[in-house]
């Protein structure tokens, strides 16, 4: 075979259109993928820039807070004596419980007295 010879192949027009369409669609997909990759690279660069800026700003804020803490006087807050508070609460609860028990006993006595009166009244009516 000589290199200058050309060979022609006959392809059905429908197959040609279909294959050409597939090739063009593939090219479109490849270009879209490249476009997405470029967008991802841009986003990655922006992300690193923003992280760096955030780190710088947080360091600035931290130094400002430390300088303010150094300038302000220290405040000593006394810790509450929890044992004394607990004792007071326990005493209050005990007194409340005693008053409730006393009221219950009074109610029981009153109900017993009421029952006794009723029974005595019935006895009087029976004996009369």
**pLDDT tens digits, 95-116:** 877 777 777 777 777 777 777 7
**pLDDT tens digits, 69-93:** 889 888 777 666 677 777 777 888 8
**84: Cα within 13 Å, side-chain hemisphere:** 3
Domain boundaries, the chain: 11-70, 89-128
What is the pLDDT, as a whole number, of residue 3?
A: 67
What is the pLDDT, as a whole number, of residue 81?
A: 67
- C-alpha distances in Å from residue 103, one per residue of 82, 93, 108, 114, 122: 31, 15, 9, 16, 29
């Amino acid at each position: 075979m000589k290199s200058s010879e050309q060979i022609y192949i006959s392809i059905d027009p429908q197959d040609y259109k279909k294959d050409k369409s597939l090739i063009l669609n593939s090219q479109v997909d490849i270009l879209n993928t490249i476009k997405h990759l470029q967008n991802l690279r841009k986003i990655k660069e922006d992300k690193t820039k923003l992280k760096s800026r955030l780190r710088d700003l947080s360091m600035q804020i931290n130094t400002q807070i430390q300088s303010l803490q150094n300038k302000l006087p220290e405040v000593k807050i006394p810790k509450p004596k929890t044992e004394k508070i607990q004792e007071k609460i326990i005493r209050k609860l005990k007194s409340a419980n005693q008053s409730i028990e006393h009221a219950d006993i009074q109610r029981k006595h009153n109900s017993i007295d009421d029952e006794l009166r009723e029974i005595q009244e019935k006895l009087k009516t029976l004996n009369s």
